[in-house]
Structure 1
Amino acid sequence: MVKAVRGAISVDSNDHKSMEKAVIELMNEISGKNDLKEEEIISIVFSQTADLNVANPAAALRKSGAYHFVPLFCTKEPEYEGALHAVVRVLVTYQCENDHRPVPVYLGEAVHLRKDLNSAYEC
C-alpha cells in the first residue's frame, strides 16, 4: 500500500549548515516514528518559506549521504499574512503494510502549524 506522511521544522538561520541540520533532524524523526527504511520511500517533496533562500532542503538531504535513489523535489511555500517564517515542510510518500498509520512530525516552532496532530500522535 502507498501512504504519505507530513512534517515540518523551523530552521534556526538562513544558511547551509542550519538547513542541513534541520532537514536531517526532521527526516530522522519521520523515519524513526514511522519505522521507514530508505528503500520503502517513493519520493520526498520539500517546501520552504521565502525567507529561507540560501539553501535547498532537498540538496541538504542529498549532501547528508542518505536517500541516494529517492526522488527529491523542493518548492517555495506560498506567502500569506500570518504565516510562520523559517520553516521547511515535507511530504514523504512510501510503501507500507495496509495497517500502518502515518505519524506526522512537527519540530521546533513548526509545532504551532498543527498542534492538533502533535497531541493526537504522541508516541
Structure 2
Amino acid sequence: MTVESNAKGTKRKKIVKVILIISFLFTGFIGYGVYWAFFDMNRLPTGEYLTEATSPDGTYTLKTYVSGTSLSADAVRGELVFNKRNGKTKNIYWNYRESTAKIEWLDNKTVVINGHTLEVPNGNYDWRKQ
C-alpha cells in the first residue's frame, strides 16, 4: 500500500464522517420541528375558561379551558398553576372531544380530570400520545 492510497482512504473516511454527522443533525432538527409543531403541550390553543380547583394545601391550582373551531371538535386543556412560584403555569392535560371538565383533588399531589388521574407537577395526559 502506498502513501498516496493511504491518504485517499483517510480522506474518504473523513468525508463519510462529515456526511454522517450532517445527516444526524438534519434528522434531529426535522424530528424536533415535527414535535414542536404538532406535539408540544406549550403550543396548545388558549381556549375559553371553564373551571378551576385548588389543591388541598394550596400549592397548585388547576384551571381548565375549552377550545375548538368550526372545523374541529372541542378539546379541554388543563393548566397547572404553581401558586407558590409567582403563578408559573404548565399545561398538563389535553383531551379531544370534550367540552366540560370535572376536577377532583385526591390529595396534595394527585388530581383527577375527567377520569384521568395525574400526579402533579410532572404527570400529564395528552390524547395525541396515547
TM-score, structure 2 as length reference: 0.22
Higher relative contact order (CA 8 A, sep 6+): 1
Specify which structure has the higher proportion of strand. Answer: 2
